[in-house]
Chains A and B, each alone.
Chain A
Amino acid sequence: MAWKTIDRNEPVVDAGATPVLTEAIRGKIESFFPRYPTKRAVLLPALHVIQDALGFIGWQAMKEVADLLEIHPSAVFDTISFYTHFWTKPRGEKVVTVCRSISCELLGGREVLEAVKDHLGIGEHETTGDGKYSIAVEECLAGCDHGPCLLVNERMHKCVKAADVPALLADAGNADHGLPRSDLFDGPVVDDDRDDGVIASTSDVVEMQDSN
């Protein structure tokens, strides 16, 4: 063929591989079943559980959760790719989230994004080889009057210029915000306080748990 066609028929999941969803993860997902009319409806909480436990949801995990919920793996892929919140590859220690909405775009947001990509040598929703940084792109970060904006984890950086990017990324404290950690932040946390095998959770999962 005269032009390049991507072959999507190549399997990405090895049928014989050891499962990535542990018993604890499965148990937790199953505990949501009684609350929803169908197993399919448990997909979103299940994805949160998996991402909390594993840091990301790879092909193998997608396939396994599909089997667990008795839905087609394509439905899982569909949902995961809709939400930028979910990662399909390991996420770095710090996530640089660049705004791509209109104010920032008009003020040079695109150049900032390019600078971040160039500097880290990775693309959107990718992670550097050393596991330090990942890049995400989001719609409006609610700092439109001070664009272009970007987040390093939860720390907002405003009026960022492309030329500032190397220094900004080199700064070890670029994610410090001097505020107590938000409940809503869901970095790949390891819950050291719990020894009962229960998986650490995002705030919404905790909330769901508590209301149980």
Chain B
Amino acid sequence: MAKITIDNQEIECRDGIPVLQAALEAGWDVPHYCYHPGLSVVASCRLCLMEMQLPHPKTREMGWAPKLFPSCQTPVKDGMVVRFDSGAVEQNQKACMEYFLLNHPLDCPVCDQAGECHLQDYSYKFGESESRMHDQKQVNPKKDIGPQTLLYSDRCVMCTRCVRFAEEVSGTEELCIVNRGGRAEIDIFPGIPLDNPMQGNVVDVCPVGALLDKDFLFKKRVWFLESGDSVCPGCSTGCAIRVDQSDNRVQRLKPRYNPGVNEWWMCDEGRFGWKYVHDVERVTRPRLRRGAEMETPAWESLGEIVRYRFEQQVDRHGAAKVAVLLSPMMACEEAWLLAKFVRELAPDATIATGFVPMVGEERCFPVGCNADDAKFVIRREKCPNGRGVELVAEHFGGSTCDFDGFVTKAGEGAFEAVWVVGGYSEEWVPKALATSLAKIEMLVVQDMFESALTGEAELVLPACAWVERDGSFVNHAGLIQPFERAINVPDGARRDGQYLFGLAGFEGLYSGARVRALMAEEMDAFREIAEAPRQPAHQH
């Protein structure tokens, strides 16, 4: 730990980090464009300059050095004295801001970034409200640079974060700087678009509205968005994300800083992969078979009906004929509640862990690096909680098996009463399973979409999308990460956690934290939960 003094205040900070990073972490709002903690330092925007005390070359007496230093490029040193609250620093900030706005079109009313723009914020805080520019503006063009991304280079401040991202993190190098000086712009080699599995991050790192996400283009003013802190369900990496929604509809996903997991990034598959959430084909109501008819039971009566029907099966065939298939799309809490419920009714019931979709290979970034040096990995395991449901199954012990084992046993006619959980965005039911489960007496299917199984079920329950639920996922490395609910469940549905909470014999409202507290009494793993750190407002 180093001790440094900023604006007469002594702070402690990690050794070797840039003064700018130390100041930001300690709560200073130092304006900066080119610095990003996840990228190399270029010190080109000159907005973060500070004053620093140095020994006088002759007298060795400490005093303010006459020139300004880039705080992003100056590492902290124990005993260092710097300041941002001086006239010279403020004058530099003003001058820089004037320069950044020289050729800017000032089109905030039609700009997607308005409301979360560093150009707006810094102009307001550190700039002038008037431009002295009376010459014609240099107008750089708006360019379509890839399938997902637009570049309005008239808004660009040439911080080069995007170029460094493509070079250092995705390793795909599509972006470049063309021309020089006041005419410089960001570009691609014509015909080789910005198109890589992580390209969406360039829009996040752009501090202004120059890089735009086509998916979100002109969709919503950002001040109408409300957010939930979530975890991406796309693969077992478990990126911390923010779900931005308005009117109960997801508008976009953004990564949250999560050291050691996804750092500042997320992949495009996750970023754009949420569209199924608003699919009209989703199962949103419970459906119960009575004789030849299907009817929609009231949620209130459901507990009783389910209990009664399961008990009947246990009486008739014995507890060992009962099984539950826990999906790796479920939260740990939901899996725990369901397993608890089933084991209470049928202590010999089999607890199986569900289908784990595996697609392709692990993809490491920057491209071409080996797994140990990867800054980001998109995993082939396309579900968020494989580890979590395994943990739950292990905890309950007794008769457990994996998905393949379950399919085999079901084929052998080992079960008469089965609760199957899906929750995948895509078709997942193997034919063999559908055939064998069609024959059993009591089938409960909790899923998001209709499948070969829902048609055979006695009871169909809606599985809600992860943005409508809260709980925790355990990622590939065993890290337990909680996620919040961002939107409400569709009309007619109820959160999985809520109905499972009731079935497991608890009263009142479900919450992930509440169930985790209960789980922690039995499972050590749930005593400590990893929360991604909250970010200072202008961290990046």
Contact = CB atoms under 8 A, between A and B. Distances in A.
Interface string B162-203: 000000000011111111100000011111110000000000
Contacts of A177: none
Interface string A72-111: 1111111001100000000000000000000000000000
B141 interface: yes
B54 interface: no
A109 to B, nearest CB: 14
Contacts of B363: none
B144 A77 contact: no
A81 to B, nearest CB: 4
Given A10-B191, A12-B190, A5 B176 contact: no
A206 interface: no
A75 B191 contact: no
B514 interface: no
Contacts of B411: none
A62 interface: yes
Contacts of B180: 81-82
Contact of B173 (A5, A11, A63, A75): A75
Contacts of B190: 8-12, 59
Given A74-B188, A77-B189, A9 B175 contact: no
Q: Dominant SS at the A interface?
A: mixed
A59 B190 CA distance: 9
Interface in A24-79: 59, 62-63, 71-78
Contacts, number: 73
B176 A74 contact: yes
A59 B187 CA distance: 14
A8 B147 CA distance: 11
Contacts of A74: 173-176, 187-189, 192
Interface in B141-165: 141-147, 150
B179 A5 contact: no
Interface of B is mostly: loop
B173 A72 contact: yes
Which of A7, A8, A76 has the most chain B CB atoms closer than 10 A to its own CB? A8
B145 A9 contact: yes
Interface in B112-129: none
A3 B105 CA distance: 13
A73 B142 contact: no
A198 interface: no
Interface residues of A, number: 24
A77 B175 CA distance: 10
Nearest to A62: B189
Contact of A73 (B141, B146, B189, B193): B189
A5 B141 CA distance: 7
A184 interface: no
B536 to A, nearest CB: 33
Q: On chain B, which size bracket covers the interface?
A: 20 to 34
Contacts of A170: none
A7 B178 contact: no
A6 B179 contact: no
Nearest to B145: A8
B150 A72 contact: no
Given A81-B179, A82-B180, A8 B174 contact: no
B26 to A, nearest CB: 37
B142 A78 contact: no
Contacts of A194: none
B142 A9 contact: no
B191 A9 contact: yes
A63 B180 CA distance: 21
A148 to B, nearest CB: 18
B189 A72 contact: yes
B83 to A, nearest CB: 34
Interface in B477-497: none
Given A74-B175, A75-B173, A82-B180, A11 B191 contact: yes
B141 A12 contact: no
Interface in A94-137: none
A57 to B, nearest CB: 13
A3 B177 contact: no
B142 A5 contact: yes
Q: Give the interface centre of B146, B173, B188, B190 by most chain A CB atoms within 10 Å.
A: B190
Nearest to B150: A5
Contact of B143 (A6, A62, A63, A82): A6
A142 interface: no
A78 B178 contact: yes
A182 to B, nearest CB: 25
7 pairs of A and B residues whose beta carbons are closest in the complex: A11-B191, A78-B176, A74-B176, A72-B173, A81-B178, A73-B189, A74-B189
Interface of A: 3-13, 59, 62-63, 71-78, 81-82
Given A5-B150, A6-B143, 18 more contacts: A6-B142, A6-B144, A8-B187, A10-B190, A10-B191, A12-B191, A13-B191, A59-B190, A71-B173, A72-B192, A74-B176, A76-B189, A77-B176, A77-B187, A78-B176, A78-B177, A81-B180, A82-B178
Interface of B: 141-147, 150, 172-180, 187-193
29 contacts: A3-B142, A4-B142, A5-B142, A5-B150, A6-B142, A8-B188, A8-B190, A8-B191, A9-B145, A9-B146, A9-B147, A9-B190, A10-B190, A11-B190, A11-B191, A12-B191, A13-B191, A63-B189, A71-B173, A72-B174, A72-B189, A74-B173, A74-B175, A76-B189, A77-B189, A78-B176, A78-B177, A78-B178, A82-B178
